[in-house]
Amino acid sequence: MLSRRRKAGLGWASGILAAVSLATGFGADAPAAGAPTPARAAAGITVKACTRVAEDGAITPAPPPGTVFFDETFRIDYIGGPVVVASDCEGTAPVSVDDELRISRGSSAEFSHDYSNECSGVITPAGPHNITSLFTPGINQVRVRLMELCGGGSSNSDLRLVYNQRCEFRKRTGPGHADLKPAMKGALDSLYHELEDHHNACYKFSSGYRSQAKQSKLFKRWHDIADKPKGDTRTDAKIRRQLKAAGFAQFPKGYKPKNAAGLRVAKGGPARVSRHTSGLAADLTVLFPDQKNLGKYQEAAADAGLCGPPASDPVHVEMPYSKKGGPLRCHFPPGPAPDVDRR
């Protein structure tokens, strides 16, 4: 069986973009004491979506000529504007495939490019490629295939679809919000104002307080997906997709050596003990008009008196705290971290 070898690095999830709910039902009455102030409507805001369709890597062993070594279909909600294939989320970096890239919608529209220049022996990066003509307004099922034409090796750069997406959500509360500490609620309210007043951003609150029992269950569920038992042949990309489908924003940062049973335990994921259980942390997805940007999110969080999000958990913010009687501070690595993966 062919296995896909990936270069080391920290992925984001972002992709990916998470499924969202429309924020509705904000009345004209003043909020009750301790309740978050109503969000301003987000209708009409357009954000740049960046869907990672293939991760940089290589096939080992190399398949024979004529082999399709990558074949997946993606659901893209197209609202208009350019659609670009690039290796970055700005839509400016060229891409490369050893040997050919094919992108199609249905049976009538297809884009293809041969980076081997008809098996010249040299792979020449090209693009970014404008593939707007493949799309029609509404839901598009887009098939991406990578082909080995010449033999001798199969590889590719990161491949991302960059396009416009309408953002209509500003959701300030959700599971666990009511049980957050007053200080955390106040800091979140300040963050919402920062995101609206200074960034015109969209956001969705997804998680606040949770019990230790629920945190332990989350920890176990993540590892049930991410860990690799003996004989597990899943690629890293497939594991990330499974974690995303289960609602996780954290992906493995590597694996520990095999234990006696052949199990490789994933590094990263939810903590065994979290600030969520103290009512002093929350998970919040944020989209900016240009793109989903971790650095901007960290800046807005800091201005609101919050820590995060860390590189390992790009939706998590929390209150600063003291260790062993020391000063109140953030305990994440200093940011902002690079904005890498939003698939």
What DSSP letter does each residue of 48-101 carry, written as one string?
A: EEEEEEE-SEEEESPPPTTEEEEEEEEEEEE-SS--EEESSTTS-S-B-EESEE
Six token digits for residue 319: 């209150």
Please report the pLDDT score of residue 38 as a whole number. 59
Cα Rg, the chain, nearest whole Å: 22
pLDDT in tens, the chain (343 residues): 333 333 322 222 222 222 222 222 222 233 444 455 556 555 567 777 888 888 888 776 778 888 888 898 988 889 899 999 999 888 899 999 988 999 998 777 889 999 998 998 888 999 899 999 999 999 999 999 999 998 877 888 989 999 988 777 788 999 999 999 999 999 999 999 999 888 888 899 999 999 999 999 989 999 999 999 999 999 888 898 899 888 887 889 899 999 999 999 999 888 888 899 999 999 999 888 766 678 889 999 999 999 999 877 889 999 998 888 888 888 776 544 333 333 2
pLDDT at residue 19, as a whole number: 25
Regarding pTM above 0.85, the answer is: no
Nearest to 200 by CA among 282, 293, 281: 293
Q: What is the pLDDT of residue 156?
A: 87
Q: What is the pLDDT of residue 245?
A: 87
Strands of 155-156's sheet, edge to edge?
3-6, 57-60, 155-156, 97-98
Looking at residue 247, its pLDDT comes to: 83
pLDDT (0 to 100) of residue 142: 92
Ordered structural domains, the chain, with CATH = 44-166 (2.60.120), 170-343 (3.30.1380)
Per-residue confidence (pLDDT) for residue 1, from 0 to 100: 34
